[in-house]
Amino acid sequence: MNKVFCTNHPLVEHKLGLLRDQGTKPFQFRMLIDEISTFLLFEATKDLNLKEIQIQTPVSNAKVKKLNEKIMICPILRAALGMLESVFRLIPDASVGFLGFARNEETLKADFYFEKIPQDAAKRVAIVIDPMFATGGTAIEACKFLKSKGVKKIKFISILVTPKGIENFRKVHKDIEIYVAAIDENLNEKGYIVPGLGDAGDRVFNTLG
């Protein structure tokens, strides 16, 4: 059974309230997405492998820890680009594997239209990022694609998820942990998460019109 880690950190709860508010301006929305992603990334990376190395401090020799895994961040275009900077801040050496999915407004399903992942993707821990995990359709396809390329260890970070999305995802990817800021109640007839925050991509890129 895959685990869903839902943070209840007071700062995240507070920031999530601001993020949901339709009066929040795009620049503030981007900042909040970035900050919440940082919290979730801390959790999602808590079991990364370390190795011990010797270094010299100004005072003496010291044994210190160094990351012993290569990371690949996979933002699902386009809304997840708003989360990418926070990952680079914490893991500057991460590679990026872009996955492009576009919502088909008729079927409400995600069409896979683009991918660009590093050549050594199979040797990396993949952290897939997408702020909205609605039906789970995009998440399922993204992780299927990564597995087809030989990626063994995958984690998923989202801001909002629905119970239906988790249920659908679990049927296909029992092995992948999901890290989220909140589990919302439902989806409406247009496929939007309720209460949600609207279209995350439009709010990040100010394309609401």
Residues linked to residue 76 through DSSP beta bridges, in sequence order? 99
Of 94 and 197, nearer to ligand URA (C-beta) is: 197
Name which of 6 and 108 has its Cβ closer to ligand URA.
Answer: 108
Q: How many residues does the chain have?
A: 209
For residue 193, the cross-strand partners are 187
Extract the tokens encoding 208: 């609401």
Q: Residue 12 or residue 160: which is nearer to ligand URA going by CB?
A: 160
Q: Which two tokens stand for residue 53?
A: 């190395």
Q: Is 114 labelled a binding residue?
A: no
Looking at beta carbons only, is 151 or 182 nearer to ligand URA? 182
Contacting residues for 33 by C-beta, under 8 A, at least 6 apart: 19, 82, 83, 131, 159, 200, 204
In the complex, what is the shortest distance from the CB of residue 138 to ligand URA, in angstroms, rounded to a whole number? 8
**Diameter of the chain measured on Cα atoms:** 65
Beta strands 193-194 and 177-180, pairing class:
unpaired
Annotation-wise, does 132 bind a ligand? yes
Residue 140: partners with Cβ closer than 8 Å, 6 or more residues away: 168, 169, 172, 173
The minimum distance between CB 144 and ligand URA, in angstroms, equals 19
Point out which residues bind ligand URA (CB under 6 A).
79, 132, 134, 191-193, 196, 199-201
* 103 is known to lie in a ligand binding site: yes
Determine contact, residues 85/30, Cβ cutoff 8 Å.
no
Assess contact for 126 and 173: CB atoms under 8 A. no
Q: How far is the CB of 130 from ligand URA (least distance, A)?
A: 9
Task: Please report how close the Cβ of residue 190 comes to ligand URA at its closest, in angstroms.
Answer: 8
CB of 208 to ligand URA, least distance (A): 11
| 131 marked ligand binding residue | yes
Consult the annotation and say whether 135 binds a ligand.
Answer: yes
Is 199 labeled as ligand-binding? yes
Q: Which residue, 51, 154, 141, is CA-closest to 100?
A: 141
- Which is closer to ligand URA, CB of 118 or CB of 198? 198
Residue positions in the annotated binding site for 5-phospho-alpha-D-ribose 1-diphosphate? 78, 103, 130-138, 199
